[in-house]
Amino acid sequence: MLRLFTYGASNRLSKTALALIFCTSAVAAEPVEVVALGDSLTAGYGLPQGQGLVPKLQAWLDEQGVDAKVVNAGVSGDTTRGGLSRVEWSLSDQSDAMIVALGGNDLLRGIDPTSSRDNLAAILDIAAARDLPVLLVGLEAPSNYGAGFKEAFDSMYADLSQEYDTLFLPDFFEGLRVKGGTNLQDVREFMQPDGIHPNAEGVERIVSVLGPRVEELVERTQ
């Protein structure tokens, strides 16, 4: 009887151990969730389903064998203030990292860069409170806003990245400039007719530069 009891107990323990191992493996197998907080550039404005930034970035990560899931939290027309107002509910308990790509609509509306900077800082404060690594994606202001505006706008991204120790991509459109250092005026073939949003080929080029930075972001979660 003792041997039977021991065997039964041992058998139950073995099953319990296997169940624990299985559950642990299942948890470990969960992909890293990266929330892409942005505006129409992130949302994929004007592009067919599957051709926007997030699905193209997801495909790039999959091809590289990066175990991550990118959540599209891009809202067309959003300013940095709009992003701040919804960042809390854009994140979930499963969120592991965040891409912050905001400021384009602030730029189009000529919003004071001081206000934009404060909003971005508040978003980064929320990420820091959740211990989420961040990739901050900047933009470059055109010169027609004036030298003072341009300097304040362009520099706020680098300053905030340094202050909050984020990963940093200085310009969302860097992928359109990498060959020959071209200006945006020279890359119309990669833009939609509005001259603001990239077309499908433009997105591919943007992802070719953004993708490796996101891979680094995923590595920061491990």
Work out the average pLDDT over 100-123. Answer: 98
pLDDT at 177: 78
Counting residues of the chain whose pLDDT is more than 90, the rounded percentage is 80
Q: How is residue 197 annotated by DSSP?
A: S
Q: What is residue 122's predicted lDDT score, i.e. its pLDDT?
A: 98
Q: Which of 76, 118, 194, 208 is catalytic?
A: 194
Lowest-pLDDT choice from 15-19, 96-100, 136-140:
15-19
User: Which of 3.40.50.1110, 3.40.50.11310, 3.40.309.10, 3.40.50.880 is the CATH number of 31-220?
Assistant: 3.40.50.1110
What residue segments make up the domains of the chain, in order of their start? 1-30, 31-220
Reported confidence tier of residue 185, pLDDT bands at 50, 70, 90: low
pLDDT tens-digit series, residues 22-78:
444 445 569 999 999 999 999 999 999 999 999 999 999 999 999 999 999 999 999
Q: How far is CA 196 from CA 42, 77, 173, 190, 193, in A?
A: 13, 12, 10, 10, 8
pTM: 0.85
Q: Which of these ranges, 11-20, 118-127, 200-209, has the smallest mean pLDDT?
A: 11-20
Query: Which amino acid belongs to residue 15?
Result: K
SS3 30: coil
pLDDT range class, residue 189, cuts 50, 70, 90: confident
- Pick from 169, 170, 176: nearest CA to 196: 176
Strand segments, DSSP code E, in 139-189 are 167-169
Q: Is 197 a catalytic residue?
A: yes
Q: What is the pLDDT of residue 3?
A: 46
User: Rounded distance, CA 214 to CA 60, Å?
Assistant: 10
Active site residue 112: no
Which one of the listed residues 90, 96, 106, 197 is annotated catalytic? 197
- Between residues 97 and 17, which one has the greater pLDDT? 97
How confident is the model over 123-148, as pLDDT tens digits?
A: 999 999 999 999 999 999 999 999 99
Residue 169, SS3 per DSSP: strand
* Confidence category of residue 209, pLDDT binned at 50, 70, 90: very high
Catalytic-labelled residue, pool 40, 90, 116, 161: 40
Per-residue confidence (pLDDT) for residue 130, from 0 to 100: 98
